[in-house]
Chains A and B, each alone.
Chain A
Amino acid sequence: MTLHKTSRLRRDWQILALVAALLALVEFCVSSQFHRSVIILSMIHSVAAVGLTLLVGYAGQVSLGHGAFVGIGAYTVAFCLQRLGLPVVFALAAAVVLPGILGFLIARPILRLSGHNLALGTLALGAVFYVVAAQVRDVTGGLDPGIVDLPSMAFAGLAHERVVFWLSIFALCLAAAIAASIVDGRFGRGLMILRSSELVAECIGMNTARAKSMIFAVSASLAGLSGGLLALYLRSFNASAFGVGLSIELLMMVIVGSLSTIWGAMFGSFAIIVLPNLLEGFDQAKQVVYGVAMILIMLFAPNGLGETLFRVFTFRRKSA
């Protein structure tokens, strides 16, 4: 990633508008409940994946524990709605703020680690969250039954699913807009230097500890927003939804998509959510096919499948 690139802000806004229009069109056209549920889940995961791209792709800090923040967001929404009786808007706001604050507090100590150690540290964070969520039954309901029957989102004649669909489109665009404005600004350029060399970043006068904590908090907030939407959509869930598997899935979305643009994260989320449904026919071999696909992507498209496909496509077009 060279630093001479001019601001891509304007192009990002164009893509954002395109994505929003496309998703809105899909909302009106797709009638199958199953297809809609796949799209909704993809969008919800995209929100977290966009945040994770900022952290992993731009700042170069790996996190294998972001499932925990998704979980915190989900439980926050459930707690606000069921125990405190707050309106949905406030519940979602809390699901953004609380994981953000927690993320900021956790980031300072945990981001002292780097490389493999950071991966292991965040992995432990995710694992600990799972255990806590499974055992603090007063708040989370544990593994069984967990959170049950959050209120339906049906509103002004629109069914639950449609409301969630629109809410997800809005959340995804919001997440992308925040991410784009961070990435295209001074702070984002600083992060890229940070990724290349922490020493250089410090030498040019960056407060690296603060920058890393900030970006960790932002990505935790977006993970929390994603969790809040997930809770609203599913209405019933338990701690098993937020295990280490979710954290790894989120990271895979980033890797499959692209490490260097936030739009790749969206591509990755759709790929990771849709792929298992396409592999249903392989039955027993499903996991193997899935694993082999991931390995091939890592080998031949280390910058992310989305980005590589995009490059191949544009390269062909130019040379033709």
Chain B
Amino acid sequence: MVIRRALLAAGLIATVILPANAEDKEIRIGALMAASGPAAFLGASQKNVFELLVEQINARGGMSGYKVKPFFYDTEGNGTLAAQQFRRLADSDNVSVVIGPSTTGESLAIRSVANEMKVPLISMAGAETVVVPPTPFVFKTPPTDRIVAEHLLDFMKSKGIHSIGLLSSNDGYGQAGASVVKEVASKTGMKIVAAEEFGPRDTDMTPQVLKIRSSGADALLIWSVNPGPTIILKNAAAVGFNKPIYNSYGAASPQLIEQAGAAAENSFVSSMRLLAPESLPADDPMRAVVSKLAEDYKTKYKSDATTFIGHPADALRLVEEAVKKTGSIDRAKLAEAMADGISFPGANGIFKFTADNHNGLDASSQSMVMLKIQNGKFVVVK
């Protein structure tokens, strides 16, 4: 009786385990995204697109034959939690590579952990400090603040703007951006005649706008994520601010137009291509990638793509290329491959990862386009 039962159990276990063993080629990929909490505006859509892309990759047979097995954790924008979850992914879930986290603070908190545990990390943080100086196991896919600041200031110069008023939020995004803008400006000879800050939850920035108006700046540059920029656009319209207004990529989302309405007209925003794929020229090297991504996203989730979904998309592409290159899912080999000249046109620009550049992007990668808001739509301008 006992033997029969044991046999039965063994048979049952075998039927459960054997088929799983038959398709043994799988790559485990961890994802750390701030799907809730203060950075949810980043992480929520990133989580969606990560799931969508993993589905697509598996539908076409996986990465060089390796089926993707995703492991997702919500970091809530909390670096301490992210560091814990990273260890969980590396140790318990045994992943080959981790994508995320969404914010700079979290990424910096786990940078040393990734290098200690020797697990490749592809961050989605903006700030360049994550990959400068480069460390063996840490990469990132969004363009750095520096690339965006250079793009904005170069564009302004070409329009005859010589002095700007800078208005930045006093959160992490605004703080990092403001210091990079100041640095780039002093290099390129752009004068910053006024620099004001505001709290990310402030509801009226009229005093700051008035100060910048009275400083006589040729243009206003806003460095903040929404809703700050929409409020400033409305305040500026209300006080009759008549100089051009520029926004950084943090404001690049459909909400800018939805919430600011007419006040957003004729303002500029430096953005990745995802925001306006249909207005890109036909010969744009990234057009095919971003159009497909934006369309697929809209079909599945019934909402417009944000520019933030480009980061996990490019990160997955990087993993895929690295797997193709080494033919292995070994952590160290993948990290080595990633730093060894992988190049592809992604949503955030034309990447070329090297030992010195773990972001794969520089000023020549065409990461950014300048969008102008005309008749309630984003239009690419040169």
Interface residues of A (CB under 8 A from B): 32-38, 41, 134-135, 137, 142-146, 148-149, 152, 160, 230, 234-238, 240-241, 276-277, 280, 283, 286-287
In the assembled complex, the Cα of A135 lies from the Cα of B168 at a distance in Å of: 13
Question: How many B residues face the partner with a CB closer than 8 A?
Answer: 31
Ordered by A's residue number, 14 sampled pairs between the chains whose C-beta atoms are within 8 Å are: A33-B91, A34-B90, A37-B83, A143-B172, A144-B104, A149-B112, A234-B80, A234-B109, A236-B108, A238-B105, A240-B77, A240-B105, A241-B78, A287-B36
- B105–A33 CB distance below 8 A: no
- A240–B74 CB distance below 8 A: no
Contacts of B105 in A (CB 8 A): 143-146, 238, 240
- A234–B83 CB distance below 8 A: yes
- B91–A34 CB distance below 8 A: yes
Contacts of B65 in A (CB 8 A): none
Contacts of A146 in B (CB 8 A): 105, 108
In the assembled complex, the Cα of A179 lies from the Cα of B300 at a distance in Å of: 56
- B175–A236 CB distance below 8 A: no
- A148–B129 CB distance below 8 A: yes
> What mask results when residues 64 to 82 of chain B are scored 1 for a CB within 8 Å of chain A, else 0?
0000000001100111110
A-B CB contacts (within 8 Å), total count = 88
Interface residues of B (CB under 8 A from A): 36, 73-74, 77-81, 83-84, 87-88, 90-92, 104-105, 108-109, 111-112, 116-117, 127, 129, 170-173, 175-176
Known: A33-B117, A149-B112, A240-B105. A144 touches B176 (CB 8 A): yes
Apart from A145-B108, A145-B176: 20 A-B pairs, beta carbons within 8 A = A32-B91, A32-B92, A33-B91, A34-B88, A34-B91, A37-B84, A134-B170, A144-B175, A145-B129, A152-B112, A160-B116, A234-B79, A234-B83, A234-B109, A236-B108, A237-B109, A240-B77, A240-B172, A241-B79, A286-B74
In the assembled complex, the Cα of A143 lies from the Cα of B77 at a distance in Å of: 12
Contacts of A34 in B (CB 8 A): 84, 87-88, 90-92
Q: Is the interface of A mostly helix, strand, loop or mixed?
A: helix
Contacts of A160 in B (CB 8 A): 116
Q: Pick from B92, B170, B172: contact of A238, CB below 8 A.
A: B172
CB distance from B332 to the nearest CB of A (A): 17
In the assembled complex, the Cα of A152 lies from the Cα of B116 at a distance in Å of: 10
Contacts of A277 in B (CB 8 A): 84, 88
Chain B, Cβ-Cβ closest to A32: B91
Contacts of A135 in B (CB 8 A): 170
Contacts of A235 in B (CB 8 A): 112
Chain A, Cβ-Cβ closest to B92: A34
In the assembled complex, the Cα of A149 lies from the Cα of B90 at a distance in Å of: 21
- A280–B73 CB distance below 8 A: yes
Contacts of A286 in B (CB 8 A): 36, 74
Known: A144-B172, A148-B108. A240 touches B92 (CB 8 A): no
